[in-house]
């Protein structure tokens, strides 16, 4: 069924409905917003599903309106629906719907609950708009709005200092990426004078028809030195790095776990952090081989680093956060080697199982927190060392979490098996054509994958299988499975983490509809990697899972897990990157600010003030001359008059006889003058 | 016949004595006496000129008129002096110098 | 129409002076009435504004709208010729948006004036006089008239700061005075020089008409500012020198680094309504002057100095932002953020591209609304507890939720969150600077770092003052004095927030009205 112009009315509600949820914030607490928010997002989800069925593998849909024009250039706003956008739409609205359902219970009783729904609405609005936008400017706009709503939600419990700090950190680090994005927009605009995605990146779009000649990057309208093509790719990638928490801009994501767990699962695991991957996928033609190699290296480092850090963390959400970073590294790396469809495939499967991991963890945290407060104990309710033995208490949470972990590890019959192995196979194929240092990429990825198996098993065993901690055992024994609504969500997601929704054959990703939806050319290299890789990966994983079981459930090899040794400390200190940043960048910016304030105070101001002093001295001098010279003359004449006055005044003695005498004298003088002269 | 110049000389002497008294005496009564001297000098002049006036006694008449006026004036003046005394407790014209201000 | 807009406040001022003092309570209502009428008038002007290319204005007198031209001073000076000064008003796409902004900011400033309690009979007439002068500056097309309005602004401002200001108002006043004196004295010299260089082609007299000054054909042969004669003064081209002098005069208003230090002091000492006007309008007079006068009359010199102006813009952005980061006084921080944001205006103008100039114009309007909002918010808190130190407050959003919501809107709008006007403005200033052939690319990229820094100082302030547990310097006592925003304050804040949001979502509201003028302007300066 083709989407005609009339059906635009089906696309707009998808994004507008969540916005309405946001606008309810102005109604305050009076309205029962939770039902409305759920209604909006589920309608949005149903419409997305419909659009998905109409568009997927059938057509692309593009509609534009004039937004505004600057000078002679018109900027358009529009909707672009293709396979990628409808997939993301379904993913975002679907997971958002589940998280809405989950949050109804999870967030119950929070005094600011109406704000929670509003912020969630804002996030869904901006994320959905982001995926359907058809121009770079619009994407940038929603890109920042997504960051903003994430800021609001991380800082949802704003009375906690740590939450306030974390939200600020997240926004500012994302801003670094935004700068890259903005710079990229500037370069593209200068080169092509448009920011329209279809014009730029479609078949035979401006990007494809531009070429490199004599070290110049030439397009129809203008040309720039060749280096700018690389810079454009690099800065766009910088934007993606910040949003998708790639090394070295990843440190905001673990801190972002200060937000409610439901938020972490939606925003910081499933959807928003995937926006970076989405962006790269959308503007893929921009990237030249240098930038792609940059992606490979960054992705590999990220995946490896995050996996090593996750090994030793004790906060359940922090482990999952690092796991997310690591998986995002996989996706970025896959995009770098050109495994476009594999990367998107992994993005989709990851969205479900990581969301499930968080939500299940949320259920555990919820119970721990609830009973801890009830029993009046004091310990960190997110610390996995305080958990243990929850398998019997919370069986459903345990099962769903185990399924999600299996998917994360990439065990057979799960969705992760399909997507992760697809990426690894591609990596090996790609590496066989490379030379030099890039050859080690697949082995590092293999190692990261193995580490993944270990850290997630550690988590599972510590939380669900190990013996309960002494301090928290009363809490553990009081815990029970989450309320129905939450559990249903977990089970649905558990189903979505298996191979069934994605592929009929549990062992081959090549029959997956999702993967083939993005495949550009028929893969011909059905080489021996296809059989070998999954076997190797699973063998290593199984070994490590067993090791983890022995270590954390049976308490063997305790020396390894004791927390000594340099490597352990580097890992649990998160590679000391936070300290490094605060020591170098934060401190230096603060110092710089201090310095410029001093310059302002003491240099510029003192110049102004010394000018003022000079002017003042001049005016003092002129005041002196005024007083002593100009005024002197005036006052002198005044004084003379008054002197004369006082002399004449003496004549007026008040004595009659004197008066008479003077009359006589005057008369005589007069007579003498009249008659004798 | 005594020539006119003798009268005038006497009269001038009288006037000067009166003037001297007016200007120098430290007693208002004496000043008043001085004034009387001066008026009488004038009266003497009137009478003397009247003697030499061909048509009628205009001089005599003015003299009488002036004597009457002088008497009235003395009465007023004495009254003023009494009041001055009441006010200043003195009739020394040097000390009654409030005209100054 | 324009005269009505300009002289309405004067009439009201006279009315206030005449009224006996028992009517003191209604002075503010008179003032408010005036600003509402002005707002409606300017809205009417906006709606009926012709935005076609045939009404672009700039260097074409016939294309100005709502022109009023009356011979004003015609003095026969014998051998020098006849003095020709016109009462010449008119608007085009560069000045029209400012009328609307002025009316709005004046409205808000009037509402903020409620807090003024002393000497109302002096306050309101001065306030209205300032209103007249500001609108006059934006409408005047005769340089002499412009100068009169320009100087007329200073008089009430000086008294408003000096009489109703803070503790160190004298210090602030002398600083302010020195800076402005420095600017305007030399400006007068240039005006006279221009007067003797330019003749009116119809009457043959020397003229102060700005539009005639923009046409090189009107310059006398061999006159000092003639482009053809290319005279030199002190070893540099006279036109370049004149451009620099005028630029410095206006740039002090903008302000640019390093001529900015009057601004934080003036703001800190000024009462809230004056701060609002200062940031909302007077800074824009600087930017407007650069566009209308410096660039339009001396385009050749402007292009020649593009690199330096762009550099100044970039330095202002970064330097202002860094300084804002170091402040402990909320109002001073916002004052420095103004320096930073106005840097984008210079960067956009220096680019001499349609994108950049549009962005600069947009930034001026946007910053006008947002800085008015920010200063109003600071005024609210200062009014309640007479303290502005950031460290004296913590956890305010718990105590004053609505106030905090407005602060968040203002902060996020100012740091360039998409959906608000500043985003469009800054994005286009930067895009313009990047694509400009006169500026190197690193200037735009350097400028964009300012966006990052602005996020840093605003969010840091937000975190320190509004989040966390409540902890106030004044303890329990402050908890009662720090009441939430009241109706009057909300009435003042809402239109500003609405404007910022509206312009952020529908940029065409403004761009459509000024596109023709901006195109003509860029055409004029790039030739």
What are the tens digits of pLDDT across the range C401-411? 888 888 988 99
Contact status, residue C347 vs residue C317, Cβ threshold 8 Å = yes
Q: How far apart are CA A394 and CA A363, in angstroms?
A: 9
> Cβ C455–A175 below 8 Å, yes or no?
yes
Structure tokens belonging to residue C214: 């923009």
Structure tokens belonging to residue A247: 């090394």
Chains B and A touch (3+ CB pairs under 8 A): yes
Find the CATH number of the domain harbouring B68: 1.10.287.3510
**Which 61-120 residues of chain A touch chain B by CB within 8 A?**
none
Closest CA to C378 of C267, C280, C515, C213: C267
Q: How far apart are CA C240 and CA C300, in angstroms?
A: 8
A592 vs C: CB within 8 A: yes
Residue with tokens 């009929």: A504
B81: containing domain:
4-92
Q: By CB neighbour count within 10 A (0-12 exposed, 13-18 middle, 19+ buried), where does A562 fall? A: exposed
Q: Which residue of B has its CA nearest to A662?
A: B23
Contact status, residue C172 vs residue C265, Cβ threshold 8 Å = yes
- C525 to chain A nearest CA, in Å? 15
ipTM: 0.89
Closest CA to A417 of A313, A518, A315, A507: A507
Same-domain status, A457 and A381? yes
Residue contacts between A and B (CB atoms, under 8 Å): 30
A414: containing domain:
348-563
Residue A328 in any domain: the answer is no
To 10 degrees, the CA torsion angle through C138, C140, C146, C150? Answer: -30
Same-domain status, A539 and A590? no
Mutate: best of A23, A70, A225, A227, partner C, most C CBs <10 A: A70
Q: Provide, as residue numbers in chain C, all residues whose Cβ is less than 8 Å from the Cβ of A188.
A: none
Q: Provide, as residue numbers in chain B, all residues whose Cβ is less than 8 Å from the Cβ of A659.
A: 99
Q: Provide, as residue numbers in chain A, all residues whose Cβ is less than 8 Å from the Cβ of B94.
A: 655, 657
Kindly provide the residue ranges of all beta strands, DSSP E only, lying in A542-604, ordered along the sequence: none
Residue A622 in any domain: the answer is yes
Q: Provide, as residue numbers in chain A, all residues whose Cβ is less than 8 Å from the Cβ of B101.
A: 654
Residue with tokens 């979505």: A496
Q: By CB neighbour count within 10 A (0-12 exposed, 13-18 middle, 19+ buried), where does C50 fall? A: middle
Is the Cα torsion angle A231, A237, A242, A245 positive or negative in sign?
negative
**Which 89-148 residues of chain A touch chain C by CB within 8 A?**
137, 140-142, 144-145, 148
Residue C367 in any domain: the answer is yes
pLDDT at A1: 42
> Cβ C431–A189 below 8 Å, yes or no?
yes
- A649 to chain B nearest CA, in Å? 9
Q: Provide, as residue numbers in chain A, all residues whose Cβ is less than 8 Å from the Cβ of B84.
A: none
Long-range contacts of C403-407 (CB under 8 A, 24+ apart): C403/C377, C403/C484, C403/C485, C404/C466, C406/C373, C406/C377, C406/C485, C406/C493, C406/C497, C407/C377, C407/C462, C407/C466
Residue B20 in any domain: the answer is yes
Same-domain status, A558 and A593? no
Same-domain status, A550 and A592? no
Residue C321 in any domain: the answer is yes
Averaged confidence pLDDT in chain A: 81
Peptide bond into C255 cis (omega under 30): yes
Q: Provide, as residue numbers in chain B, all residues whose Cβ is less than 8 Å from the Cβ of A662.
A: none
> Cβ A604–C258 below 8 Å, yes or no?
yes
- A471 to chain C nearest CA, in Å? 29
> Cβ A657–B24 below 8 Å, yes or no?
yes
pLDDT at A637: 84
pLDDT at C469: 82
Structural domain total, chain A: 2
* H-helix or E-strand spanning residue A292: helix A289-310
Residue A132 in any domain: the answer is no
> Cβ B97–A655 below 8 Å, yes or no?
yes
A153 vs C: CB within 8 A: no
- B74 to chain A nearest CA, in Å? 17
> Cβ A73–C355 below 8 Å, yes or no?
yes
> Cβ C507–A72 below 8 Å, yes or no?
no
List the subunits that have 3+ CB pairs under 8 angstroms with B. Answer: A
Residue A293 in any domain: the answer is no
> Cβ C175–A612 below 8 Å, yes or no?
yes
> Cβ C448–A165 below 8 Å, yes or no?
no
Contact status, residue C239 vs residue C301, Cβ threshold 8 Å = yes
Which parts of chain C register pLDDT below 70?
Answer: 78-80, 229
**Out of C178, C258, C358, closest to residue A70 by CB:** C358
> Cβ A657–B97 below 8 Å, yes or no?
no
pLDDT at C360: 92
> Cβ B97–A653 below 8 Å, yes or no?
yes
Dump pLDDT digits (tens) for B42-91: 998 888 888 777 677 778 888 888 899 999 989 999 999 899 888 888 88
Closest CA to A146 of A243, A78, A284, A249: A243
Domain boundary among A530, A563, A596: A563
Residue contacts between A and C (CB atoms, under 8 Å): 149
- A659 to chain B nearest CA, in Å? 9
List the subunits that have 3+ CB pairs under 8 angstroms with C. Answer: A
Q: Which residues of A513-545 are buried (b: 16+ CB within 10 A; e: fewer)?
A: ebbbbbeeeebeeeeebbeebbebbbebbeebb
> Cβ B23–A661 below 8 Å, yes or no?
yes
- B93 to chain A nearest CA, in Å? 7
Residue A223 in any domain: the answer is no
Same-domain status, A554 and A586? no
Mutate: best of A126, A222, A600, A613, partner C, most C CBs <10 A: A600
Q: Provide, as residue numbers in chain A, all residues whose Cβ is less than 8 Å from the Cβ of C466.
A: 158
C390: containing domain:
305-527
SS3 C74: strand
Bridge partners of C329, per DSSP, are C389
- B56 to chain A nearest CA, in Å? 32
> Cβ C455–A594 below 8 Å, yes or no?
no
**Out of C397, C451, C515, closest to residue A69 by CB:** C515
Structural domain total, chain B: 1
Dump pLDDT digits (tens) for A228-242: 888 888 888 888 888
**Which 17-56 residues of chain B touch chain A by CB within 8 A?**
19, 22-24, 31
Q: By CB neighbour count within 10 A (0-12 exposed, 13-18 middle, 19+ buried), where does B72 fall? A: exposed
> Cβ C451–A182 below 8 Å, yes or no?
yes
Which parts of chain A register pLDDT below 70?
Answer: 1-8, 26-31, 511, 519-529, 557-564
Is the Cα torsion angle C300, C304, C306, C311 positive or negative in sign?
negative
Structure tokens belonging to residue A298: 């960054």
> Cβ C515–A171 below 8 Å, yes or no?
no
Residue B100 in any domain: the answer is no
Residue B97 in any domain: the answer is no
Q: How far apart are CA A518 and CA A84, in angstroms?
A: 8
Q: How far apart are CA A191 and CA A207, in angstroms?
A: 10
SS3 C88: strand
Structural domain total, chain C: 1
**Out of A141, A189, A596, closest to residue C419 by CB:** A141
List the subunits that have 3+ CB pairs under 8 angstroms with A. Answer: B, C
Q: Provide, as residue numbers in chain A, all residues whose Cβ is less than 8 Å from the Cβ of C333.
A: none
Cα A621 to chain centroid, rounded: 63
A158 vs C: CB within 8 A: yes
SS3 C84: strand
Contact status, residue C401 vs residue A29, Cβ threshold 8 Å = no
User: Could you give the count of Cα atoms lying within 13 Å of A101 in the half-sphere of its Cβ?
Assistant: 18
Residue B51 in any domain: the answer is yes
Q: How far apart are CA C338 and CA A19, in angstroms?
A: 32
Q: How far apart are CA A337 and CA A432, in angstroms?
A: 12
> Cβ A654–B97 below 8 Å, yes or no?
yes
pLDDT at A520: 58
> Cβ C417–A145 below 8 Å, yes or no?
yes
């Amino acid at each position: 069924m083709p989407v005609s112009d009339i059906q635009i009315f089906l696309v707009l509600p998808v994004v507008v409905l969540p916005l309405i949820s946001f606008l309810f914030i102005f109604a305050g607490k009076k309205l029962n917003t939770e039902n409305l928010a759920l209604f909006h997002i589920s309608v949005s989800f149903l419409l997305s599903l419909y659009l998905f069925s109409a568009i997927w593998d059938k057509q692309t849909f593009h509609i534009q309106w004039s937004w505004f024009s600057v000078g002679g250039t018109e900027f358009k706003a529009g909707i672009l629906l293709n396979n990628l956008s409808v997939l993301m739409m379904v993913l975002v609205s679907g997971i958002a719907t589940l998280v809405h359902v989950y949050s109804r219970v999870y967030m119950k009783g929070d005094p600011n609950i109406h704000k929670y729904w509003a912020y969630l609405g804002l996030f869904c609005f901006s994320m959905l708009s982001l995926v359907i936008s058809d121009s770079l400017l619009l994407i940038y706009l929603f890109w920042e709005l997504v960051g903003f709503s994430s800021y609001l939600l991380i800082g949802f419990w704003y009375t906690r200092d740590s939450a306030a700090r974390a939200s600020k950190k997240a926004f500012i680090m994302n801003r670094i990426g935004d700068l890259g994005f903005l710079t990229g927009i500037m370069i593209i605009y200068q080169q092509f004078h448009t920011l329209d995605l279809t014009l730029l990146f479609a078949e035979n779009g401006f990007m494809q028809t531009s070429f490199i000649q004599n070290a110049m990057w030439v397009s129809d309208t203008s040309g720039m030195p060749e280096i700018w093509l690389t810079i454009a790719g690099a800065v766009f990638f910088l934007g993606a790095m910040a949003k998708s928490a790639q090394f070295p801009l990843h440190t905001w994501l673990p801190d972002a776990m200060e937000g409610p767990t439901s938020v972490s699962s939606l925003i910081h695991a499933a959807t928003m952090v995937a926006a970076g991957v989405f962006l790269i996928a959308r503007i893929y033609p921009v990237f030249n081989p240098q930038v792609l190699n940059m992606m490979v290296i960054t992705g590999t480092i990220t995946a490896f680093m995050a996996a090593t850090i996750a090994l030793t963390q004790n906060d359940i959400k922090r482990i999952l956060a690092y796991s997310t970073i690591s998986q995002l590294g996989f996706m970025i790396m896959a995009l770098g080697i050109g495994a476009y469809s594999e990367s998107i495939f992994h993005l989709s499967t990851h969205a479900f199982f990581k969301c499930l991991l968080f939500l299940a963890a949320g259920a555990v945290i919820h119970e721990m927190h609830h009973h801890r407060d009830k029993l009046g104990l004091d310990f960190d309710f997110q610390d996995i060392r305080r958990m243990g033995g929850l398998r019997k208490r919370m069986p459903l949470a345990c099962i769903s979490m185990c399924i999600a972990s299996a998917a994360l590890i990439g065990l057979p019959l799960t969705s992760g098996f399909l997507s992760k192995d697809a990426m690894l196979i591609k990596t090996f194929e790609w590496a066989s054509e490379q030379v030099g240092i890039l050859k080690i990429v697949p082995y590092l990825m293999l190692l990261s994958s193995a580490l993944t198996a270990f850290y997630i098993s550690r988590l599972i065993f510590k939380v669900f299988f190990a013996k309960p901690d002494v301090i928290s055992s009363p809490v553990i024994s009081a815990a029970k499975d989450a309320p129905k609504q939450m559990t249903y969500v977990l089970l649905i997601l558990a189903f979505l983490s298996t191979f069934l929704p994605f592929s009929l054959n549990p062992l081959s990703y090549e029959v997956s509809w999702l993967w083939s939806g993005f495949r550009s050319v028929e893969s011909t290299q059905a080489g021996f990697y296809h059989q070998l890789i999954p076997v190797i990966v699973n063998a290593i994983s199984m070994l490590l899972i067993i090791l983890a079981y022995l270590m954390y459930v049976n308490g063997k090899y305790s020396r390894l897990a004791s927390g000594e040794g340099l490597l352990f400390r580097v890992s649990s200190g998160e590679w000391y990157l936070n300290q490094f940043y605060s020591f170098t960048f934060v401190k230096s910016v603060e110092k710089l600010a201090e310095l410029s304030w001093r310059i302002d105070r003491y240099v510029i101001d003192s110049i102004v003030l010394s000018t003022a002093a000079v002017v003042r001295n001049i005016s003092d001098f002129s005041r002196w001359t005024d007083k002593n010279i100009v005024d002197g003359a005036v006052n002198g004449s005044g004084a003379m008059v008054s002197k004369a006055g006082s002399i004449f005044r003496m004549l007026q003695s008040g004595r009659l006889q004197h008066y008479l005498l003077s009359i006589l004298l005057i008369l005589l003088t007069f007579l003498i003058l009249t008659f004798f002269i | 016949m005594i020539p006119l110049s003798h009268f005038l000389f006497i009269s001038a002497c009288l006037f000067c004595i009166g003037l001297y008294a007016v200007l120098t005496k430290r007693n208002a009564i004496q000043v008043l006496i001085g004034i009387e001297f001066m008026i009488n000098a004038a009266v003497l002049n009137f009478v003397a000129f009247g003697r030499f006036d061909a048509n009628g006694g205009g001089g005599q008449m003015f003299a009488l008129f002036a004597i009457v006026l002088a008497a009235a004036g003395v009465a007023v003046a004495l009254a003023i002096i009494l009041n001055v005394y009441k006010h200043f407790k003195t009739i020394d014209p040097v000390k009654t110098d409030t005209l100054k201000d | 129409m324009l005269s009505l807009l300009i002289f309405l406040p004067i009439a009201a001022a006279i009315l206030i002076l005449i009224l006996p003092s028992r009517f003191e309570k209604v002075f503010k209502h008179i003032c408010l009435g005036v600003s509402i009428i002005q707002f409606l008038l300017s809205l009417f002007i906006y709606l009926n504004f012709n935005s076609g290319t045939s009404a672009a204005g700039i260097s074409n007198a016939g294309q100005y709208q709502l022109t009023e031209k009356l011979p004003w001073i015609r003095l026969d000076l014998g051998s020098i010729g006849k003095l020709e000064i016109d009462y010449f008003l008119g608007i085009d796409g560069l000045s029209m948006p400012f009328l609307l902004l002025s009316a709005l900011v004046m409205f808000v400033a009037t509402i903020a004036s409620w807090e003024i309690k002393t000497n109302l009979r002096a306050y309101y007439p001065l306030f209205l006089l300032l209103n007249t002068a500001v609108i006059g500056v934006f409408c005047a097309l005769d340089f002499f008239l412009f100068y009169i309005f320009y100087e007329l602004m200073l008089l009430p401002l000086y008294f408003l700061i000096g009489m109703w200001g803070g503790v160190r108002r004298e210090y602030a006043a002398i600083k302010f005075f020195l800076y402005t004196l420095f600017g305007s004295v030399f400006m007068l010299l240039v005006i006279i020089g221009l007067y003797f260089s330019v003749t009116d082609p119809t009457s043959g007299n020397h003229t102060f008409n700005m539009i005639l000054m923009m046409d090189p054909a009107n310059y006398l042969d061999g006159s000092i500012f003639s482009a053809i004669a290319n005279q030199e003064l002190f070893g540099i081209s006279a036109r370049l020198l004149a451009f620099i002098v005028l630029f410095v005069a206006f740039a002090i208003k903008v302000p640019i680094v390093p001529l900015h230090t009057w601004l934080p002091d003036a703001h800190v000492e000024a009462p809230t309504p004056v701060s609002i006007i200062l940031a909302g309008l007077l800074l824009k007079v600087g930017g407007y002057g650069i566009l209308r006068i410096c660039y339009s009359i001396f385009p050749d010199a402007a292009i020649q100095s593009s690199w330096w102006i762009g550099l100044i813009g970039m330095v202002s952005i970064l330097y202002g932002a860094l300084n804002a980061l170091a402040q402990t006084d909320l109002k001073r921080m916002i004052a420095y953020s103004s320096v930073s944001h106005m840097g984008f205006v210079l960067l956009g103008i220096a680019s001499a591209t349609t994108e950049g100039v549009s962005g600069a114009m947009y930034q001026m309007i946007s910053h006008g609304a947002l800085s008015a909002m920010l200063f109003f918010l600071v005024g609210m808190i200062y009014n309640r507890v007479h303290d502005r130190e950031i460290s004296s407050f913590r956890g305010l959003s718990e105590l004053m939720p609505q106030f905090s919501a407005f602060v968040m809107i203002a902060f996020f709008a100012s740091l360039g969150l998409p959906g608000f006007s500043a985003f469009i403005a800054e994005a286009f200033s930067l895009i313009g600077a990047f694509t400009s052939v006169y500026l190197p690319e690193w200037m735009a990229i350097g400028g964009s770092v300012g966006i990052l820094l602005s996020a840093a100082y605003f969010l840091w302030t937000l975190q320190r003052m509004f989040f966390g547990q409540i902890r106030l310097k004044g303890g329990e006592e402050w908890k009662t004095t720090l009441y939430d925003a009241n109706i009057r304050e909300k009435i003042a804040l809402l239109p500003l927030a609405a404007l910022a949001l509206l312009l952020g979502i529908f940029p065409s509201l403004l761009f459509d009205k000024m596109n023709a003028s901006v195109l003509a302007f860029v055409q004029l300066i790039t030739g």
